[in-house]
Each structure stands twice: as structure tokens, then as C-alpha cells.
Amino acid sequence: MIAGLVHKLCLFQVIAVAKSSDIVLMVLDASKSEGHRQILTKELEAVGLRLNKRPPQIYFKKKKTGGISFNSTMPLTHVDEKLCYQILHEYKIHNAEILFREDATVDDFIDVIEGNRKYMKCVYVYNKIDVIGIDDVDNLARQPNSVVISCNLRLNFDRLLAKMWEEMGLVRVYTKPQGQQPDFGDPVVLSVVCNANSLYFWTDAMLVLVGVSSNFGTTICVPQDRGGCSVEDFCNHIHRSLVKDVKYVLVWGISARHYPQHCGLAHALHDEDVVQVVKKKEGNEGARGRFKSHSDAPARISDRQKKAPLKQ
């Protein structure tokens, strides 16, 4: 492992694609020291990836005139107003509005100014647990965001898959046509995370593109721009015009209080829910039987067009 690997191998295109993924799996050797993890973390931070961090609560907006406006909602211990002015002067920014909502550091403020940082979740996967002691395995497994596996003996793969599914926040929703059985073969995958279509393993040499697989044998395509987990997002994923035609939705699953439950567009769906969409009928829905009108005339008499009086 060599520091500065990304710059020497010119992997900027691969890193650019990795920024659109849901999660990063950093595969490490359990028999080696923690220095490899630190080197890989620095390599990813050098290209703008922030692992297991949330965006800093700093409001920054450039202006054309008015100078620099600096405010904070709490005492700052890492930066002050003078230091912020010096940093903005280095970036040739002389008119801006700044508001600190937390005690952020200088690096956080620079990340906000750059505006091209990607905050992603990362799971540290420790391989080769079959060559170390049980106490070392227990210590690695208790670390945050860490999973221990053995590719040689195929150990703990189910736990790794569950951890990936939990961190990505994927929700499988099954469709049910009216009068038919649910289709459990092709679910609609939703997620709170947006703009994600791939998964990457960061190894000692480079990034290897793989698909999200349920059995580590077949590749499942994850849809891009999944939006959210509500019924409206589910309808938009199927077709954009479906939301306008929805009358009500029947839901079976964990999110339903009873089976089936009549839900609206704001209902939040859970994993493995079954959804049946009932569309509005065309024509006059309020009338029944012989009272149903098939004409295009307005329903109210006052809205109808008056005929010209007969000639006398």
C-alpha cells in the first residue's frame, strides 16, 4: 500500500463514479495493523469523500455586494471571525453570508466553501478472520460500522448483507394487480438515499465495481433516484402520471394497521409491503345505474348553455 495511490494511478474517473454510490465497503485484512485503514481513509478524503460524517451545519452563500456577514448561534472554539475572513480572502471571496449553527472546525468550513464534498456511509469489512484469535475477532466486531468475514470459509456473509441493507436503507415494495396474486418476483426498490446506482468495494489496489446481490451470485440492478418511501414516491417510480389517477391504495404489511388498509399518498411504506393501486374511473363516478349520465353536458343546470329563444 502506497500513500497517494489515487494520484499516481489516475483513478479520478473511478472515484467520480464512486461518489454516486450508496455505500462504501472498505475491505481490510484482519491480520494486519490499523494503519491500512487510516491510509485508505486519507486517500478517500483527498478526493472529497467523507466517510461516516454528516454535512456541517454551516450556512454559506456568496453575494455580489454587501461585504462579509458573519454570525453564529453558539460559541465557537475552533474558528473565529478573523480566521474566516482570512480563509475567504484566500478563495478571493469578498461578499458572502456565513452562519455557524454548530462548533465546526476549519476543515468543515473549507468543505462548505468548496461545495464538492460527498458525505457517504462506510462499512469496514475485516477479512481473514480464520487466521487470528477469537479475542481479536471479538474486538474487531465490536468496533462501530465494522463487520468481520472470511471469504475462504464463507463465514458471516449473511451478517454483511444485512449490514449493507441496513445502512443503505433500502425498502422492497411488491405490487398486486386487482383480482390477482402479489408479484413477489420483481419488487420495487425504494430508498431515502437519492442518486445512487452502484456499490463499490475499496481494496488495497483500486475500486472494484460490483452489484447489490442477495446471494453473492446474481446481480440486481438498483434503480437510480429512488426518492423516498411514501406511496407517492412509489407511484412516481412506476410512472409520473399515475399519481393524478390514484383514487386510493390498499396496503398489506408492517406499515398497515389492518389488512388491507386504505391509504393515501402520504402513507410511509416499510420493507416487504404489498401495494395495490386503485385508479379513478372515467366519467361520472357519483351516479349509479339508470341515473348515470353518459353525456358531456355540465352537471348543474345553471352551467348549461342556454338555447336561443324560438322565433315568434
DSSP-derived 3-state class of residue 62: strand
Up-side HSE of residue 209: CA atoms within 13 Å toward CB?
12
pLDDT attached to residue 202 = 38
Helix spans in 226-287 (H): 231-238, 242-245
* Of residues 144 and 212, more confidently modeled: 144
Cell numbers describing residue 127: 477479512
pLDDT attached to residue 196 = 36
pLDDT of residue 183 exceeding 50, the answer is yes
pLDDT of residue 1 exceeding 60, the answer is no
Beta bridge partners of 119: 50
What are the two backbone dihedrals, phi and then psi, of residue 231, each rounded to the nearest 5 degrees? -65, -35
pLDDT attached to residue 225 = 44
Q: Which of 113, 118, 119, 117 is nearest to 60 (CA)?
A: 113
Beta bridge partners of 220: 212
Measured between alpha carbons, how far is 173 from 167 in angstroms, rounded to an integer? 18
pLDDT attached to residue 113 = 93
Cell numbers describing residue 148: 468481520
Up-side HSE of residue 114: CA atoms within 13 Å toward CB?
15
For residue range 195-234, list pLDDT tens digits in order: 333 444 333 333 333 333 333 333 333 333 456 789 999 9
* Of residues 277 and 34, more confidently modeled: 277
Determine the angle formed by the axes of helices 106-114 and 81-90, rounding to 10 degrees. Answer: 40
User: What does pLDDT average to over the chain?
Assistant: 80
Grid cell 416487504 in the structure block, residue? 272
Confidence bin at 92 (pLDDT 50/70/90)? very high
For residue 5, the surrounding DSSP H or E stretch is helix 5-9
Please give the share of the chain, as a percent, with pLDDT higher than 70.
76
Identity of residue 42: K
pLDDT of residue 289 exceeding 70, the answer is no
pLDDT attached to residue 7 = 54
Q: Which of 36, 225, 9, 19 is nearest to 126 (CA)?
A: 36
Cell numbers describing residue 43: 486517500
For residue range 225-275, list pLDDT tens digits in order: 456 789 999 999 898 889 999 999 999 999 999 989 999 999 999 989 999
